[in-house]
Chains A and B, each alone.
Chain A
Amino acid sequence: MTMEFAAHCPWLSDDGPDTDVVMSCRVRLARNLARFPFVSRADEAQRKELCNIARQVVLSSNLADGVIWVDLNHATARDRQLLVERHLISKNLAEADIPRAVAVSGDETLSVMVNEEDHLRMQLLAPGLRLVELVDRINVVDDAIEAKVDYAFSPRWGYLTACPTNLGTGIRLSVMMHLPALKLTSEIDRVRRAAKDLHLAVRGYYGEGSESAGDFYQISNQVTLGRSEQDLLREFDQRVLPRIIEYEQHARRMLVDDNATLLDDRIHRALGTLRSARLLGAEEAMKLLSRLRLGVHLGRLPDLDLAAINRLLLQVQPAHLQMYVAADLNSEQLREARATLMRQTLQ
């Protein structure tokens, strides 16, 4: 089976509030079905049954327009990697060797992973800071699924999850923040420390276990128990995030006001490298594109199109690059193809 994907990603656009700093936001719920072992303890037959139940429930619940069901055991390795790069499935689910699947809505904003660490991991993605809207929508999705299955739930512990770190609400609110000015001014460590004090996790571009490529940081709540979804949302969305956004915007203003030459040097060096390089690694490309993104948002690169940069952020990833050139490439060929793509796009 080969899947078809557009060159752009709906959550990678600038059509949303605060997209200068918050690239995208995500809400995820972890749910398990009652009367089944958790995924890691279930046997093959039970895992298959869970896939079948999920398929039947998800496809009959009218959760969103154009929902497709992807049996990941029959998907190619590249298709699975494409789904990871589009943030529709986790790396763990892509690489697992058990019956597993994902349902994806036509606009790619909703995905429901089956047999990840929990039976169901449902998530909504959107560009910019729209967590309030996403929490409302995921609640509707959750209710629709719950109307057809019994969730594992206890009055004391809430929604029961395989790992106690997701227990209770099972909710994970996260934002992908672009914090290049805080990085340039070495203030990012203060954000990290403050986030830790507030029980927030700071991760890289691909979430758990990944590094912060290109000054993109995924920030999410760690506490899931003892507070309502609305409480967690209010604190994160109204108290924590506006302060980080303001902090980054302030650092950007300071750069423009006090150190415009340094700023322009970094931005134009990035553009120069991307327009000239013959070999480019994914991480280096992300870092340089991050500088361009900053330059465009600060009005320092009036001729560049933000949509093109967003598209490139996706296309520099290995599976997307191979889809773009329609060939299987080794790592050296990937570096060359990446550099060629940059030169062609940014001339």
Chain B
Amino acid sequence: MNPLKCDYCDKPAVVHEVTVKNGQKNEVHLCEEHAQEAGVALPSHQPINQLLTQFVISQTSKGKAMAKKPCPTCGMTYRRFRQTGNLGCPDCYEAFEEQLAPLIQRAQNGADRHRGKTPRRAGASDDRQLQIRQLVRELDEAVADEQYERAAHLRDRLRGFDPQSPGSKAVAKPDDEPHQSES
């Protein structure tokens, strides 16, 4: 059997993708050159699953992802991210938010927002309300789990948010003071 040819030229295809949507089969076959153009790098040592992942990412985000605008802070492009899997700097999350959000949701089981720990230090986060909500939530969980020492610690952190002062922030209580159980 003759090897399949690239959809865009006569060279042999090295990347193949078959998708079935609404009963319609759609095949894509690309040579090395056109695969690279579509955002699939083909170094010889690259594992096949990584190749496929990149190809799927490149196909599913095609169009939107073609926005060539680089991150204003580090110059990273979305296309380069698709090839390496790593972003260039923290600001890339904002620069590519539109393209990244669906990808993150897929990778993170549908999650689209952080609900965990927040830094306590000034300047690291400007969203006090989010921090307060998070602490309240963790406090509820700790009480529900009867983790009273942890609950007391969280309560102390919450007290660090002074409602009268918009610039105030959570302040850690020194650890040399024993936390009292509320039970």
Whether a CB of chain A sits under 8 angstroms from the CB of B69 is no
Contact B116 A168 (CB under 8 A): yes
Whether a CB of chain B sits under 8 angstroms from the CB of A123 is no
Quick one: given A156-B113, A164-B100, are A224 and B120 in contact (CB under 8 Å)? no
Cα separation A142 to B116 with both chains bound (whole Å): 14
Instruction: Say which residue of A153, A163, A225 sits within 8 Å of B118 (CB atoms).
Output: A153
Chain B contacts of A158 at CB under 8 A? Answer: 114, 116-118
Cα separation A32 to B93 with both chains bound (whole Å): 13
Range, interface on chain B? 35 or more
Whether a CB of chain A sits under 8 angstroms from the CB of B17 is no
Contact A226 B89 (CB under 8 A): no
Quick one: given A164-B103, A223-B108, A227-B111, are A169 and B116 in contact (CB under 8 Å)? yes
Whether a CB of chain A sits under 8 angstroms from the CB of B180 is no
Cα separation A32 to B87 with both chains bound (whole Å): 12
Contact B111 A38 (CB under 8 A): no
Pick from A17-25, A144-152, A245-253 the stretch touching chain B: A144-152
Q: Which of B108, B121, B137 counts the most chain A CB atoms within 10 A?
A: B108
- Considering the complex, give the chain B residue whose CB is closest to the CB of A139: B117
> Which B42-88 residues have a C-beta within 8 angstroms of A?
73-74, 76, 84-88
Quick one: given A150-B124, A168-B108, A223-B111, are A37 and B117 in contact (CB under 8 Å)? no
Chain B contacts of A5 at CB under 8 A? Answer: none
Cα separation A224 to B115 with both chains bound (whole Å): 10
Instruction: Say which residue of B85, B124, B130 sits within 8 Å of A34 (CB atoms).
Output: B124
Chain B contacts of A222 at CB under 8 A? Answer: 109
CB of B104 to closest CB in A, whole Å: 5
> Which B145-182 residues have a C-beta within 8 angstroms of A?
145, 172, 175
- Considering the complex, give the chain B residue whose CB is closest to the CB of A170: B116
Contact A229 B84 (CB under 8 A): no
Whether a CB of chain B sits under 8 angstroms from the CB of A265 is no
Chain A contacts of B108 at CB under 8 A? Answer: 164-165, 167-168, 223-226
Contact B123 A150 (CB under 8 A): yes
Contact B123 A226 (CB under 8 A): no
Q: 5 A-B contacts, Cβ less than 8 Å apart?
A: A37-B89, A154-B114, A157-B113, A225-B111, A226-B110
10 more A-B residue pairs beyond the given contacts A143-B120, A164-B104, A229-B116, with a C-beta to C-beta distance below 8 A: A37-B89, A41-B76, A146-B120, A150-B119, A150-B123, A153-B119, A160-B93, A163-B85, A169-B116, A225-B113
B residues contacting A by CB (< 8 A) are 73-74, 76, 84-90, 93-94, 100, 103-104, 107-121, 123-127, 130, 134, 137-138, 141-142, 145, 172, 175
A residues contacting B by CB (< 8 A) are 32, 34, 36-38, 40-41, 117, 139-140, 142-143, 146-147, 150-160, 162-165, 167-169, 171, 199, 222-231, 234
